[in-house]
Amino acid sequence: MKISENTFDVIVIGGGHAGIEAVLAAERMGCSTLLVTARYSRIGEMSCNPAIGGIAKGTLVREIDTLDGSMGKAADATRLHFRMLNRRKGPAVWGPRVQSDADAYALFQRNYLERKAIRILEDEVIALEGSTENPEGIKCRKNGVVLGRTIVMAVGTFLRGRLFRGQSEWRGGRIGDIASDNLEEDIRRRLFHVERFKTGTPARIVRTSVDTGELGIQESEETDFRFSTDRKDLPGNREVCYLTKTNRNTMIAAKEYMHLSPLLAGRIDGIGPRYCPSYEDKVVKFPEREQHNIYVEPMGYRSRIFYLNGLSSSLPAEAQEKMVRSLPGFEKAIISDYGYAVEYSYFHHTEIAPSLRLRRTHNVFVAGQMCGTSGYEEAAAQGLLAGANAAGIVKGAKQLTPSRGNSYMGVMIDDIVSKGTDEPYRLFSSRAENRLHIRQDNADRRLYEFGKSLGVLSEGKSLLLELNMKEAAEIETVLSESIIERCQAAIWCRRPGAEAERLAELIPTLSSFSRDRIFSVMLDEKYSGYIRRSMKRDESRRRASSVNLSSITSYMEIKEICWEAREVLEKAKPRTLAEAERIPGIRPTDLEGLLLHLAGKRSTWNSSIKKETDQ
């Protein structure tokens, strides 16, 4: 593709999950866009597990879809296996998850970009062009300078990426791709604070070499659940996922080669994800535990390759062979691709504003693993917000961030920007204070107004969401006006075991509504008391957070807070209680101490004024 002399409104660097959502969001807002990627054929690739969703992550995908993103559509169109996780707990924390056909998913995303007429440049970005405060564009290896009014960097694990397996080390963001060394050098030269994280991937196994009769079976749930509210037909292809477990021999094989682990040998400085550790990490941290679940998942429909979810490793090839063949059913397994670790650079949270703009620039945004997060879903959500806010600069619109109390997207952004993370960040339902409200079933209603304000909704999506809102409102009216089994229907919904199917039988006027919508409104009623209390707490916290701290000249003299908090606050010098709350190490008791100190100071000041007046 030949680049003209025109300046693009938004340039997006990176064709992964974050980059796709960023460029599509900017396009929906009417901006001229350019997606720059090193290899067109790997746009939308699922570099690790070919799955979308999960606990909290599935809700995030529905939020992305509400803002008209493409991830939910791609997941629905290519799904092979579905499970609703966390069913043992209440529906507020259920997590929809699909196993996708990896090749079909990437193809869907590339075709979607083409249908939206997104311009794509196959090149390597080696630097930003112009000043740090207001770059004029990017510098590419083959095409030279490309001008852009705003830039979104979504480079993933490619920012000075290094791959490790045993004693081998080479450059790359993943197998078969180059690393963005030059771009990282430019970022460091501009004195941005970047640090290193680590992630990894397991071996891939030739399917026909596995005795699946020895494995546990995980059948797909039969359901018409969709991530996207754009109700398209679901694919008929189905796959079975399997389960096996490690054992003593697996542990012995790993320990035999542990001295060759690049992580334990100190050749990797970056911290790895706590909730998705390598197998050698498990052996070191849980030496008493021999059994760990390994989920055996196909890479596609009738794919010849299995993915071993839970056996990520950077040990040498011979170690991985012994570990794999120690698993039940894998005695004759053939490895098609060996696992490896990836170390990469990311921006420290102090560099990133809530809009995902780099604070020291006027027009550069970041998303995905460059922000310190892990996971396809987290990356896609950030990409969508970064792309929309970049387009907002072009349009002269206000920069927006979703509320923490109203979305998992808001929880994630607030966590990574205000608190930072000392390991690759992963979203969990436990991170959300208001999780009874921010459920997967009501994402379209929760974020509709935010999507309108952001300006990211297409006309078709906006009309569809309006229809959903209207339908939910009609159900709410019916519930408030109907009496069943001697009580108001809305109150009946709060009873244990209340079901949408039974409610539709008791109130015939509800029979025309979808059971999913009825169920969602029923949950609103079921959790209404808890949600109201949570909203009140959020409002109280918001009001208190606006308290001005500028009158405090020295935190070291405040007796109402602990000595450690005094030192941290004295160094940070927060301007408001909200800023103090976001400082790592500051506890709720410290915030209460600040309020007590201010109240006492105000009381002393008022007494002094009264005394002078009396005189």
pLDDT tens digits, residue range 425-443? 999 988 888 899 999 999 9
Q: Provide the pLDDT confidence category of residue 71 given band limits of 50, 70 and 90.
A: very high
Tell whether the model's pLDDT for residue 143 goes beyond 70.
yes
Per-residue confidence band for 603, with pLDDT thresholds at 50, 70 and 90: low
Is residue 2's pLDDT more than 60?
Answer: no
Give the pLDDT confidence score for residue 232 in this predicted structure. 83
What's the CATH code of the domain at 166? 3.50.50.60
Token pair in block for residue 207: 């399917």
pLDDT of residue 265: 78
pLDDT in tens, 168-177: 999 999 988 9
The share of the chain scoring above pLDDT 70, in percent, equals 96
Residues 272-301: tens digit of each pLDDT: 877 678 999 999 989 999 999 999 999 999
Are the CB atoms for 184 and 162 separated by under 8 Å? no
Q: Answer yes or no: do 597 and 506 share one domain.
A: no
Calculate mean pLDDT across residues 314-340: 97
- Whether residue 369 lies inside any domain: the answer is yes
Q: What is the pLDDT of residue 150?
A: 98
- Which domain-ending residue is among 531, 560, 586? 531
Shared domain check, 483 and 366: no
Give residue-wise pLDDT tens across range 514-541: 999 999 999 999 999 988 887 777 777 6
pLDDT exceeds cutoff 90 at 582? no
The set of residues, in sequence order, having a beta carbon less than 8 Å from that of 126 and lying 6+ positions away, is: 139, 140, 141, 182, 183, 186
Query: In this structure, is residue 446 part of a structural domain?
Result: no
Mean pLDDT confidence for 112-130: 97
Please report whether residue 449 resides in a domain. no
Question: Which pLDDT value is given to residue 588?
Answer: 67
For the cut 50, the answer to whether the pLDDT of residue 12 exceeds it is yes
Quote the domain boundaries for residue 519: 465-531
SS3 per-residue string spanning 309-362: EEEECCCCHHHHHHHHHCCCCCCCCCEEECCEEEEEEEECHHHECCCCEECCCC
Residue 605 above 50 pLDDT?
Answer: no
Q: What percent of the chain has pLDDT over 90?
A: 76
Does one domain contain both 328 and 190?
A: yes
Pair 235, 366 in one domain: yes
User: What integer is the mean pLDDT of 582-594?
Assistant: 76
The secondary element (H helix, E strand) that includes residue 168 is strand 168-171
pLDDT of residue 252: 96
Q: Quote the pLDDT of residue 273.
A: 78
Say which range, 61-75, 330-344, 504-518, 567-581, has the weakest mean pLDDT. 567-581
CA distance 295 to 175: 22
Q: Which of 153-162, 364-373, 428-437 has the lowest mean pLDDT?
A: 428-437
Give the residue-averaged pLDDT of 384-396.
98
**Domains contained in the chain, number:** 3
Q: Which two tokens stand for residue 14?
A: 């990176």
Distance between CA atoms of residues 77 and 336, nearest Å: 27
- 269 found inside a domain: yes
pLDDT at residue 324 greater than cutoff 80? yes
Q: How many CA atoms lie within 13 A of 240 on its CB side?
A: 10
> Which of 431, 457, 478 marks a domain boundary?
431
The answer to whether the beta carbons of residues 383 and 450 sit under 8 Å apart is: no
User: Is 210 inside any structural domain?
Assistant: yes
Q: How many residues are listed for the chain in this entry?
A: 615
**Per residue in 450-471, pLDDT tens?**
999 999 999 999 999 999 999 9
Q: Residue-wise over 474-500: b if at least 16 C-beta within 10 A, else e?
A: bbeebbeebebeeeebbebbeeeebeb
Residues 364 and 236 occupy one common structural domain: yes
What is the residue-averaged pLDDT of the chain? 92
Q: Which of 128-137, 226-235, 537-546 has the highest mean pLDDT?
A: 128-137
Give residue 7's pLDDT.
Answer: 92
Judge if 274 and 162 occupy the same domain: yes
Considering the domain architecture, whether residues 478 and 583 belong to the same structural domain is answered as no
Question: In this predicted structure, what is the pLDDT of residue 4?
Answer: 59
pLDDT for the residue 580: 85
Asked if residue 392 belongs to a domain, the reply is yes
Q: Which residues of 523-538 are buried (b: 16+ CB within 10 A; e: fewer)?
A: bbbbbbeebeebeeeb
Do 292 and 182 belong to one domain? yes
